[in-house]
Amino acid sequence: MFIHEAFAKDGNEQNLNVVSEKNERSLSEVLSEVLIKKDFDKVIPIIKYLEEKGYITPKEAENVCDKSAATVRRYLGILTATGIVVAEGNTNNSIYRVKVM
């Protein structure tokens, strides 16, 4: 692996961190651009929970949204359809995480 000598110096490491921080956007920012407003407004509680914890179960989503299991399944389906949130596990033990990019 070749690393340019300018990047090998410690002083430039801070510059790389600054650039990296500028390129990172919150989950809610990204999803607000991807989803239509109506859908985005519905899933805001789930998005905030995902930003805090990094994952959510359907049961946690029911509690956060104060909605039925069927409604939460639709909401989680909206999020997974974006490709930004992925489901892991089987039906009874599923969790939803932000996809690592």
- Segments making up each domain of the chain, as ranges: 26-98
Integer Cα distance of 78 and 12 in angstroms: 41
Give residue-wise pLDDT tens across range 73-87. Answer: 999 999 999 898 999
Contacts of 31 (CB under 8 A, 6+ apart): 40, 43, 47, 79, 82, 84
CA atoms 90, 54, 58, 34: torsion sign:
negative
Rg (alpha carbons) of the chain, rounded to whole number: 18
**Whose CA is closest to 31, among 39, 22, 21?**
39
* pTM of the predicted model over 0.75: no
pLDDT at 11: 46
CATH architecture for residues 26-98: Orthogonal Bundle (1.10)
Can you read off the two tokens belonging to residue 32? 């607000």
Residue 17 confidence (pLDDT) above 90 = no
pLDDT of residue 101: 67
